[in-house]
């Protein structure tokens, strides 16, 4: 399981995001510099122990109303080949040294573990505590017994979020894993969904509400 080090990051993840977020098509604060705070999320483990995986909720308070975004991060000790466009930035970790921080929707390790989570084959972990499962993160999928693994995947961003088109093996099913980049606290998956991942998202009064982070649909 992933070990959470109590150490420094220079620059911090929020500092990296403050530069990266405004260029994303789903960012709502066009023309404004974000003012960010971490407000939720969870982690997944890389079975090989090489890649850090985190799904972070960050709230931007730069506008009239707070907006909470979901950013799946992957952290690597060396650059990910062919993923320059997905690089959020590099940071110096007080224990691990230089780390390359990616938009994890383009990282095959993160996508594979997210798919495993949807199928009930990966256990979500607490965001800030080592070796501790997070029971508040719930994954559901209607047909997990019929799928085995990912054969191919492509990622597409639009103003509503990120769609991961996944081709599965051996059945050859096509699924879309929609990453809700803007989190609407209390929003559930729609009735057509085959599955979902839900976790807590912050409300303006300081409480939280169960919210769809990821929604799974079948593709024809």
Where along the chain do its domains lie?
A: 9-218
Note the pLDDT of residue 59.
Answer: 97
Note the pLDDT of residue 100.
Answer: 96
- E strand segments, the chain: 9-10, 36-44, 52-60, 67-76, 87-93, 97-103, 138-141, 149-158, 161-169, 174-179, 182-183, 195-202, 208-218
Residue 8 makes CB contacts below 8 A (sequence gap 6+) with 92, 93, 94
52: which strand partners? 75
pLDDT band at 3 (very low <50, low <70, confident <90, very high): low
The two structure tokens encoding residue 51: 């890649």
Note the pLDDT of residue 129.
Answer: 86
Q: Report whether 106 contacts 82 (CB < 8 A).
A: no
Give residue-wise pLDDT tens across range 189-202: 888 899 999 999 99
User: pTM here?
Assistant: 0.93
Give residue-wise pLDDT tens across range 154-185: 999 999 999 999 998 877 789 999 999 999 99
Token pair 């256990």 in the structure block, residue: 123
**Which of helix, strand or coil describes residue 199?**
strand
């Amino acid at each position: 399981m992933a070990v959470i080090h109590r150490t420094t990051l220079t620059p911090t993840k929020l500092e990296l995001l403050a530069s990266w977020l405004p260029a994303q098509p789903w960012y709502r604060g066009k023309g404004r510099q974000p003012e960010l705070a971490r407000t939720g999320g969870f982690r997944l483990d890389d079975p090989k122990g090489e890649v850090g995986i985190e799904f972070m909720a960050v709230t931007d308070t730069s506008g009239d109303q707070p907006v909470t975004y979901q950013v799946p991060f992957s952290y690597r000790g060396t650059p990910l080949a062919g993923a320059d466009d997905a690089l959020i930035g590099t940071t110096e970790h007080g224990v691990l040294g230089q780390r390359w921080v990616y938009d994890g929707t383009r990282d095959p390790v993160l996508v594979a573990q997210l798919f495993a989570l949807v199928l009930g084959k990966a256990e979500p972990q607490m965001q800030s505590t080592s070796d501790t499962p997070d029971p508040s993160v719930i994954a559901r999928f209607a047909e997990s017994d019929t799928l085995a693994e990912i054969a191919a995947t492509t990622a597409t961003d639009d103003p509503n979020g990120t769609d991961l088109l996944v081709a599965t093996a051996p059945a050859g099913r096509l699924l879309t894993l929609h990453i809700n980049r803007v989190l609407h606290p209390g929003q559930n998956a729609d009735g057509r969904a085959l599955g979902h991942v839900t976790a807590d998202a912050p409300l303006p009064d300081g409480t939280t509400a169960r919210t769809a982070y990821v929604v799974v649909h079948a593709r024809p």
